[in-house]
Structure 1
Amino acid sequence: MAAFSFQTLQNKFDQLRSNKVFELLVIGVIIVSALIIGVKTFEVPDWFNSALNILDWAITLFFLTEITIRFIGEPRKRDFFKNGWNLFDTLVVTLSLIPIGHQDMALIARLVRVFRVLRMVSIIPELRTLINSLLKALPQLGYVLLMMFVIFYIYAAVGTTLFGAINPTLWGDIAISLLTLFRVMTFEDWTDVMYETMAVHGWSWMYYLSFICLTAFAFLNMVIGIVVNVIENENKAEEAKLHEGEPTLIDIHAELKALRAEIKTLKQ
């Protein structure tokens, strides 16, 4: 009888956790939790701050209840921890419940709940497709980023050797030169850096223009192209799943041809 009652409870929780209204309620509470963190950064009256603390604990209890419902509603409990979002939520709720004596550490633990806003990815299909596309593009992006780092390193070594004496603040060592080159690539007052070195080495404009052409124009466009290509493939895969099982024009023509043959046979 107890097993039957637990099975009934599990089925009800399984239906509840897959209910869209329940998902929207969870997302609403997540947004309210994030807003509370933002409100606490302002100067508010003591009574209002106390009310926010009570609401904060109520939201924490709601999160704990939600995790419990999802765990009990899972037919196979091991599968619950195979989902990355479930692990993330469990970690966030656990950090919110751990009693920490230091006030700053307790605030950091509560701040972790802000990241639960990412749960909206599991509800909005477009966001889910975007995240999947980015993850699938990482292997291809890795080689492009590796090549970009090689270019950065070579130019940083050259820049430190040639321009280190001109401005040690920007070209003092290879690490600082890498930061300076990142500034040049993002076009953040890069002309000021160039004119400073051109006052000593008039040809140094070739150094900057060649670096910008390789990084800002070539490699960044390659990164964008890879991401766009993967997103298009993901969209095509989603459309194929939606239309899976539907007859194509070739199938329809084949069926019509077979029907004509059967009709012809019946007439004979």
Structure 2
Amino acid sequence: MSVTAIQNKLKIIDQSKAFQGFVIFVIVVSALSIGAHTYHLPPWLEKSLLVLDIGITVFFLFELIIRYLASDGPKSFFSKGWNIFDTVIVIGSLIPLGGSTVLLARLLRIFRVLRLVSMVPELRMLINALFKAIPRMGYIVLLMFVIFYIYGAVGSMLFGHINAFLWGDVSIAMLTLFRISTFESWTSIMYETMAVYPLSWMFYLSFIFLTTFTFLNMMVGTVLDVMSEESRLMSEAKLQLAIEQQGILTTENVGSITAPNGLEQTSERVADNENRPATAAEIKQLHAKIDQLTALLLQQQNTQRQP
């Protein structure tokens, strides 16, 4: 069996839903075993969990090797950030639990739960959307900081003599404003200042309107915009994966299919006019014939698979 054939079989195994489902199952079992270590367990159960941990570590290493061999070389494998993440997690899990490294080993094993993110496409989409939204959200956070600073300085000047613990200086006032933006007992703070300044409610309501309503909705809109784009990319990736899983047609199968009527003539016209730029109508016609040929290929492949 050639190296290419072995690699294709490994790709089929790595991309199969059964294998990926089993990997997710092992990740969940690993998370439960990590949580079990936080309880006082009998010695026999501790030893059983230790053996289970060794088996899980070996399986993760085996799964990572399969994924590496199924990829098109080290450059293709390490060009994906999730593969690098999984490699670091698996290598960290190889630290033995015994000796002085037991605490470090258990801490590193906790992060194996994060592999669930790399295995579930929907979770990967959410994380990718979050990271892509961070640069856009950074400008919103910067504008929020400016608003917090202005309101903090004003609040410190107006209310510092009322309650120095909450409004003593601009930094403390900004912390108080953050508490107000989370609606944590903000009315008690407002009523305290309203006893001295009856119109101080305008200060609080305008701040809440700007931060909680406006900026929060801006952040939500930014994340939703990026998530819609990531969802589109994920749909395209799933479609591409489904096409790849159809299998590669052999040269004999391709050769046995008669080209659609008119495709030869279209190709010959393009070849005859090789030095002349093709018109939009010719390109559209050629694309239509190619789509027709692709449909015939898929139809023959499905016919061959039927008993």
How many residues align? The count is 241
Query: What percent identity do the matched residue pairs reach?
Result: 50
Q: Which runs of 4+ in 1 moved over 6 A?
A: 237-244
- Who is 1:47 aligned against? 44
* 2:186 counterpart of 1:190: yes
Q: TM-score, normalised by structure 2?
A: 0.68
- Who is 1:105 aligned against? 104
Quick one: distance in 2 between partners of 1:109 and 1:240?
A: 34
**Maintained 8 Å contact 1:133/1:234:** yes
> What is the letter of the counterpart of residue 58 of structure 2?
L
Quick one: distance in 1 between partners of 2:192 and 2:198?
A: 10
> What is the letter of the counterpart of residue 116 of structure 2?
V
- Picking from 163, 167, 184, the partner of 1:167 is 163
Quick one: distance in 2 between partners of 1:238 and 1:68?
A: 25
- Who is 1:179 aligned against? 175
Aligned to 2:116, the other structure's residue is in SS state helix
Mapping of 1:9-48 within 5 angstroms?
Answer: 9-48=6-45
Aligned to 2:87, the other structure's residue is in SS state helix
Consecutive unaligned residues in structure 1, runs of 5 or more: 245-253, 256-268
Q: What is the root-mean-square deviation of aligned Cα atoms in Å?
A: 3.0
Consecutive unaligned residues in structure 2, runs of 5 or more: 241-283, 286-307
Aligned to 1:101, the other structure's residue is in SS state helix
| Deviates further, 103-112 or 21-30 | 103-112
| Deviates further, 20-29 or 9-18 | 9-18
* 2:209 counterpart of 1:209: no
* 2:71 counterpart of 1:69: no
**Maintained 8 Å contact 1:27/1:119:** no
> What is the letter of the counterpart of residue 76 of structure 1?
G
> What is the letter of the counterpart of residue 85 of structure 1?
W
Q: Deviations over 1:151-183 (max 9, x none)?
A: 112112222333334333323343332222111
Higher relative CO (Cα under 8 Å, sequence separation at least 6) belongs to 1
Distance 1:107 1:237, change over 3 A: closer
- Who is 2:113 aligned against? 114
> What is the letter of the counterpart of residue 34 of structure 1?
A
> What is the letter of the counterpart of residue 152 of structure 1?
F
Distance 1:75 1:242, change over 3 A: closer
Aligned to 1:152, the other structure's residue is in SS state helix
Quick one: distance in 1 between partners of 2:85 and 2:221?
A: 31
Distance 1:35 1:7, change over 3 A: same
Distance 1:185 1:67, change over 3 A: same
**Maintained 8 Å contact 2:159/2:167:** yes
**Maintained 8 Å contact 1:17/1:73:** yes
CA drift of 1:129 comes to: 4.2
CA drift of 1:143 comes to: 2.0
> What is the letter of the counterpart of residue 55 of structure 2?
A
- Who is 1:264 aligned against? none
**Maintained 8 Å contact 2:156/2:173:** yes
| Deviates further, 43-52 or 235-244 | 235-244
Q: Deviations over 1:170-200 (max 9, x none)?
A: 2334333222211111111111121222233
Quick one: distance in 2 between partners of 1:196 and 1:39?
A: 49
